[in-house]
Amino acid sequence: MRHLISPLDYSTSELDHLMDVANDIEKNPEKYAHACAGKKLATLFYEPSTRTRLSHEAAMLNLGGSVLGFSSANSSSASKGESVADTIRTVSCYADIAAMRHPKEGAPLVASLYSSIPVINAGDGGHQHPTQTLTDLLTIRSLKGRLEDINIGLCGDLKFGRTVHSLIEALVRYKNVKFYLISPDELRLPDYIREDVLDKNHVFYKEVVRMEDALPNLDFLYMTRVQKERFFNEEDYIRMKDFYILDTKKMALAPKDMYVLHPLPRVNEISTEIDNDPRAAYFKQAQYGVYIRESLILDLLNIRV
Ligand code: CP
């Protein structure tokens, strides 16, 4: 039995297959409409979510399956002190596959050790968000036709942003990907990723504070929200939260074929005036999130269509 806990759990050729199926689902949704009939997905969300929970649920419903679950720790027996291990052992009796989001790093990994059904890490603290990474890879490949030879700017909260950590780990496996790390000093990428992932793989990266210094070089600009929920005090969050705001003036410095991505939710970091720019791809990205999760569910349940 297989789980998805880290973005590295799938090889690049396995990822290619997942993305090929996702693209086929996009083109031929009816072909997959009953693929998961009789199967159940449990969504175990101990932290708030709109996209990740609902896109997993939409994916299972699109495949003809059903969904059950909880959307906050307070509405589950976690509030009475139940452990993740006991929860997943119980949910294994009710569902065929589970997606878990948890504020503690490593909680979905612990769940996978006690589970008798596949577990999908739907985000664990400031650590990883592998299904967002699958979404991001599919979006990049679908928009640009490749995952190699790209210049990507990662902007905002690179310290706590788990989507950025997972995406870097996944992209270093492709040839000639150049990273522009755009953040204030306080929100720099953690050492363990800079040294153990970027340096170790001899990957080009440049750290800049001003977005303007990277924009003209980019194929993709990946904006992120400052992660309020991970700050230790409100004062620091308020000081950092509007450090970057992408607006039409800044977009004028970017190449005409650069795409803007964002895992969402956004707060102020992308002005809504950008939403109608043809380079704004973040809602398209949210749509790709459904196709790739359909493909992932099929794969983890060993269902071939
Ligand atoms: N991208 C993402 O994880 O969004 P949610 O927090 O709404 O799930």
pLDDT of residue 88: 98
pLDDT of residue 69: 98
Among candidate residues 80, 175, 210, 256, the one labeled active-site is 80
Among candidate residues 101, 127, 141, 159, the one labeled active-site is 101
Ligand 1 centre from 48 Cα, in Å? 8
49 lines ligand 1 (CB under 6 A): yes
Confidence category of residue 102, pLDDT binned at 50, 70, 90: very high
pLDDT of residue 126: 83
Would residue 52 show up in a list of annotated catalytic residues for this protein?
A: yes
The DSSP annotation for 205-242 comes to EEEES-GGGTGGG-SEEEE----GGG-S-HHHHHHHTT
161 lines ligand 1 (CB under 6 A): no
Which is higher by pLDDT, 226 or 262? Answer: 262
Ligand 1 centre from 26 Cα, in Å? 21
Given a cut of 80, whether residue 145 has pLDDT beyond it is: yes
Shortest-distance Cα residue to atom 4 of ligand 1: 51
Given a cut of 90, whether residue 234 has pLDDT beyond it is: no
pLDDT of residue 299: 98
Given a cut of 90, whether residue 242 has pLDDT beyond it is: no
Alpha-carbon distance of 131 to 76, in angstroms, equals 23
Q: How confident is the prediction for the chain on average, in pLDDT?
A: 96
Would residue 129 show up in a list of annotated catalytic residues for this protein?
A: yes
String of b and e for 122-138 (b: at least 16 CB within 10 Å)? Answer: bbbbbbbbbbbbbbbbb
133 lines ligand 1 (CB under 6 A): no
Given a cut of 90, whether residue 221 has pLDDT beyond it is: yes
Would residue 2 show up in a list of annotated catalytic residues for this protein?
A: no
51 lines ligand 1 (CB under 6 A): yes
Among candidate residues 56, 129, 165, 241, the one labeled active-site is 129
pLDDT of residue 240: 81
Structure tokens at 44: 């175990």
Among candidate residues 3, 40, 43, 52, the one labeled active-site is 52
132 lines ligand 1 (CB under 6 A): yes
Given a cut of 80, whether residue 253 has pLDDT beyond it is: yes
Residue written as token pair 């190449």: 255
50 lines ligand 1 (CB under 6 A): yes
What is the C-alpha radius of gyration for the chain, rounded to an integer number of angstroms? 19
Ligand 1 centre from 51 Cα, in Å? 5
Of the candidates 94, 18, 44, the residue with the CA atom closest to the CA atom of residue 291: 18
Would residue 173 show up in a list of annotated catalytic residues for this protein?
A: no
From 124, 132, 226, 287, mutation site for ligand 1 pocket: most ligand atoms within 8 A of C-beta: 132
Given a cut of 80, whether residue 166 has pLDDT beyond it is: yes
Least confident range of 85-89, 96-100, 160-164, 261-265: 160-164
pLDDT of residue 230: 72
Mean pLDDT of 76-94: 97
pLDDT of residue 59: 98
From 45, 52, 228, 269, mutation site for ligand 1 pocket: most ligand atoms within 8 A of C-beta: 52
Bridging pattern class, strands 177-182 and 205-208: parallel
pLDDT in tens, 18-28: 999 999 999 99
